[in-house]
Chains A and B, each alone.
Chain A
Amino acid sequence: MSEQLWMPSAKVATLRQRAMILQKIRAFFAERDVMEVETPSLCAASVTDAHLATFSTEYIGPGNSAGLPLYLQTSPEFAMKRLLAAGSGAIYQIAKAFRNEESGKHHNPEFTMLEWYRPDFDEFALMTEMNELMVHILDCQPCTSISYQQVFMDVLAIDPLSVGLDELKVEAAKYGYGDIAAVETQRDTLLQLLFCMEIEPKIGQQAPCFVYHFPASQAALAQLCADDKRVAGRFELYYKGMELANGFNELTDATEQATRFTQDNHLRVEMGLSPVDIDKHFLDALDYGLPACSGVALGIDRLIMLATGKSTIKDVIAFDIARA
């Protein structure tokens, strides 16, 4: 079988649908006075997240004859927060994001992300706006929502906030993940395993489903909840077996953020990865003052898969990595 690799992986008709959806998204934000912005794809700093692999390159030119290391962004989050700190107000961006080592039915190493930020919104206000966008684009039932703790209890009868590592290992083994569980030292890895494999396929089948209040240990860049420090203002959206979006009630405290970056780097070393230089511009912006806000990143390619009924990401992008 000789595949014509010069040809697009998506049908032209699908790309036309894609263009229409992008227009609708831009109109949605224009109506709400959210400003479209563009930030660099090439960044001087990478991310500390131990589960993200970046692409790196080098800038050689005036002022940098010896070569300046640069990284392709894994999301436009840090740059957009710098704009918010500089007083941009509500902003959105449709940007290319790059993640090494990620390829499959739902992953392409280069993909398109819709990311937007709303000053003075908490995560629930942002979920409400996101629901409007979902219904507008997908013509679906209104989104449902459930807390991380509740969905674990409903589907697996485990309380993810109190369960210990040993107990989690026993639970994971019950579902056939004994080999992974036996040597695992991170509680969160087993929670993520059970969530991905056993919970995700069972939620958001009829209507998109928000899962909110992720455990504090998986807060990433979200604030902890003031009334329950065990959980964070982080949510995700799932629909028809796909993870569509991740949102935060954004952490604005520079000191706390620096501590989390350092913890990430400790985890990286524990996992045998090299530590990553912390993004100083981003921390300086937090130090200067990030307004209280919530933000969310949504995988546009997956949204378009759902809107067009396609089952693989290459069916909705012009050229997948095999044709790049």
Chain B
Amino acid sequence: MANYSTNEFKGGLKIMLDGEPCAILENEMVKPGKGQAFNRVKIRKLISGKVLEKTFKSGDSVEGADVMDTDLAYLYTDGEFWHFMNNETFEQIAADEKAVGENVKWLVENDVCTITLWNGSPIAVAPPNFVELEITETDPGLKGDTAGTGGKPATLITGAVVRVPLFVQIGEVIKVDTRTSEYQGRVK
């Protein structure tokens, strides 16, 4: 993998840090009136998800990380792995629990997810921004309530819990924003 000099740093660049692939979020140059310049970089570790700040001496190089995002459709889980498929090549990839993480609750069959691969292996799974899921459990609401007042928790078929308006009932399919866990509306 190529090395990157600090001059090539920018948001989105993938580099290796402490043996872990990372993505640069922000890069700011800091320079004294006279003397050595530094780059203060905000970095997200791609496996642990941790965000941290790191300072480099300007002009230094770091190893790039062989990280790429690929869009794959979710197929099924066998309990140990979650299987995804490339809809064009039909090539399949299995992600483990660590890679899927909390996003397991947003995985809907046939939905296209973004899988982050490091050296060819999945390290993160990002669901689409919006998913449609069936409600399996929620209190019966009061009649005449309109959206936006109060609300109640509802458990979805994948185990995710979101707040929904009182009029939404068990068995209905709703649209949810996976980034905020917010209810968007009912799906007819």
Q: Is B50 at the interface (CB under 8 A from chain A)?
A: no
- Given A177-B55, A180-B55, A180-B56, A51:B33 Cβ within 8 A: no
Residues of B within 8 A of A189 (CB): 35-36, 57
Candidates A193, A218, A236; contact of B38 at CB < 8 Å: A193
By the criterion CB–CB under 8 Å, are A197 and B40 in contact? yes
Number of interface residues of A (CB under 8 A): 27
- Cα distance A177–B36 in the bound complex, in angstroms: 14
By the criterion CB–CB under 8 Å, are B40 and A192 in contact? no
By the criterion CB–CB under 8 Å, are B30 and A101 in contact? no
Residues of B within 8 A of A246 (CB): 33-34
By the criterion CB–CB under 8 Å, are A104 and B38 in contact? no
Q: Is A32 at the interface (CB under 8 A from chain B)?
A: no
Q: Which of A49, A103, A176, A193 has the most CB of B within 10 A?
A: A193
- Given A102-B37, A180-B56, A195:B32 Cβ within 8 A: yes
Q: Is B51 at the interface (CB under 8 A from chain A)?
A: no
- Cα distance A102–B40 in the bound complex, in angstroms: 14
- Cα distance A38–B35 in the bound complex, in angstroms: 27
Candidates A49, A105, A186; contact of B34 at CB < 8 Å: A49
Residues of A within 8 A of B7 (CB): 101
Residues of A within 8 A of B33 (CB): 236, 243, 245-246
Instruction: Output the nearest chain A residue to B29 by Cβ-Cβ distance.
Output: A104
Q: Is B31 at the interface (CB under 8 A from chain A)?
A: yes
By the criterion CB–CB under 8 Å, are A243 and B32 in contact? yes
- Cα distance A72–B76 in the bound complex, in angstroms: 62
The B-contacting residues of A in range 29-54, CB under 8 angstroms, are 49, 51
The A-contacting residues of B in range 21-62, CB under 8 angstroms, are 28-38, 40, 55-58
Number of interface residues of B (CB under 8 A): 17
- Cα distance A289–B24 in the bound complex, in angstroms: 51
Q: Closest approach, in angstroms, between the C-beta of A78 and any C-beta of chain B? A: 15
Instruction: Output the nearest chain A residue to B32 by Cβ-Cβ distance.
Output: A192
- Cα distance A218–B40 in the bound complex, in angstroms: 22
Residues of A within 8 A of B34 (CB): 49, 51, 218, 220, 246
Instruction: Output the nearest chain B residue to A49 by Cβ-Cβ distance.
Output: B34
Residues of A within 8 A of B28 (CB): 104-105
By the criterion CB–CB under 8 Å, are A197 and B29 in contact? no
Residues of B within 8 A of A193 (CB): 36, 38, 55, 57
The B-contacting residues of A in range 254-295, CB under 8 angstroms, are none
By the criterion CB–CB under 8 Å, are B32 and A196 in contact? yes
- Cα distance A196–B40 in the bound complex, in angstroms: 11
- Cα distance A188–B34 in the bound complex, in angstroms: 11
- Cα distance A260–B23 in the bound complex, in angstroms: 41
The B-contacting residues of A in range 157-203, CB under 8 angstroms, are 176-177, 180, 184, 186, 188-189, 192-193, 195-197
Residues of A within 8 A of B35 (CB): 51, 188-189, 192, 218
Residues of B within 8 A of A106 (CB): 29
By the criterion CB–CB under 8 Å, are B36 and A197 in contact? no
Q: Closest approach, in angstroms, between the C-beta of A208 and any C-beta of chain B? A: 14
- Cα distance A186–B56 in the bound complex, in angstroms: 15
Residues of A within 8 A of B30 (CB): 196-197
In addition to A103-B29, A197-B40, 5 A-B residue pairs with Cβ atoms within 8 Å of each other are A51-B36, A102-B37, A193-B38, A196-B30, A197-B55
Residues of chain B having any CB pair with chain A under 8 Å: 7, 28-38, 40, 55-58
Contacts A/B (CB < 8 Å), 15 sampled: A51-B34, A51-B36, A101-B37, A101-B58, A105-B29, A177-B55, A180-B55, A180-B56, A186-B36, A189-B35, A189-B57, A192-B32, A193-B36, A196-B38, A218-B34
Return the 9 tightest CB-CB contacts between A and B, nearest first: A104-B29, A246-B33, A192-B35, A189-B36, A192-B32, A236-B33, A220-B34, A192-B36, A196-B30
